[in-house]
Amino acid sequence: MADRTAADFIAFAVQAGVLRFGEFKTKAGRLSPYFFNAGLFDDGAKLDRLAQAYVERLLPHAADFDLVFGPAYKGITLAAALAMQLARAGHNKPYAYNRKEAKDHGEGGMLVGAPLQGRRVLIVDDVISAGTSVRESIAMIRAAGGEPVAVAIALDRQEMGRAGDQDLTESAVQQVQREQGLAVHAIATLADLLDFVQHDPAARQHAGAVQAYRARYGVAA
Active-site residue set:
103, 105
CA atoms within 13 A on the CB side of 40: 12
CA atoms within 13 A on the CB side of 133: 24
User: Any idea what the Cα angle at residue 198 is, between residues 194 and 201, rounded to 5°?
Assistant: 130
Give the pairing of strands 95-103 and 67-70: parallel
What sign does the dihedral 136-138-141-143 (CA atoms) show? negative
Residue 98: alpha-carbon gap to chain centroid: 17
Could you tell me if 126 and 154 are in contact, meaning their C-beta atoms sit under 8 angstroms apart? yes
